[in-house]
Amino acid sequence: MKRTNPEPSASGAKKRRGEEDDEEVGCSHAAVEDGAVSEDQCLPLEDELTFSDTSVALRMMRAQFPRIDQCLRREKVVRVFKLNTGQDDHAVIFLDDYLNQVDRIVKRMEEKKQSDLEIFKWFKGHVLDSKLEPSIGHHELFSLLSLGGNVKDAHITLLINAGLLTRQLIDPDMYWFAIPSIGKLWKGLLQGRNELLSLIKRKRHKEMFLAELEKKRLRFSPLDVRFHIRDLIGSGHLKTVQTTSGLIVRIPKD
């Protein structure tokens, strides 16, 4: 990957030509890299976060995201899941990918001679197909599953153990739809957030050049540092400021 020469620390940069020359840069929400592009083919984030027609388009998409999200959900292209991070975090996954995960779960259980596997067919055909929200009540869940056959408590337990449902702590009669085996992902998300924020907070002005931050190697997260930078900017934990010396990421003042 092409790298720029190391920049001086953000706190040691030349005095800017007045705050009016500083320009805040918008950023789209974080997107997980799928491995289709190698690291050597990826541009530095500073190149991606400069003003351009693409940047303007991304801002428009971000502003319209709630409407786009609702449209794609209605068309059953994606599903939205609430993440158990303690914050207002959600994951968006293509419905086809999610259904494939359900099928893989069934295949593993078939190999173990697990019983009551018909519940997964009912779950896909009657629950996921009609319930588009991130949560569902116990009565509604039973009612929809009953369209497939005689539902037992053991069926619900099987869905929970498979990682497809989790009970809400504040209301045990409500369930979140869940993504199987996502625990490692959101754990890495939280640890990466904390590690980067802690690093920037230790700087004198609580800011760093983006090019410098991008080169850091995280100790506690398996996710790429660029993913976490986008996540923190998109969630408002960081803001970007364009200066004559380069793009700076900064922790917003309270």
Q: What is the pLDDT along the chain (254 residues), one digit of tens a residue?
A: 444 444 443 444 433 444 434 443 333 333 333 343 344 444 455 555 543 444 444 454 445 445 555 676 666 778 888 877 666 777 788 888 899 999 999 999 999 888 899 999 999 999 998 998 999 999 999 999 999 999 999 999 999 999 999 998 888 899 999 998 777 777 888 898 899 999 999 998 899 998 899 888 888 888 888 888 888 887 888 998 898 888 888 998 86
Sheet order of strands, 246-250 included = 23-25, 239-243, 246-250, 207-209
CA-CA distance, 60 to 62, in Å (whole number)?
5
User: With contact defined as beta carbons under 8 Å apart, do 165 and 127 qualify?
Assistant: no
Both tokens assigned to 251:
């922790």
- State the pTM of this model: 0.60
Q: From residue 44, give the alpha-carbon distance in Å to each of 183, 197, 202.
A: 29, 20, 24
For residues 70, 84, 251, 61, the Cα torsion angle rounded to the nearest 10 degrees is -10
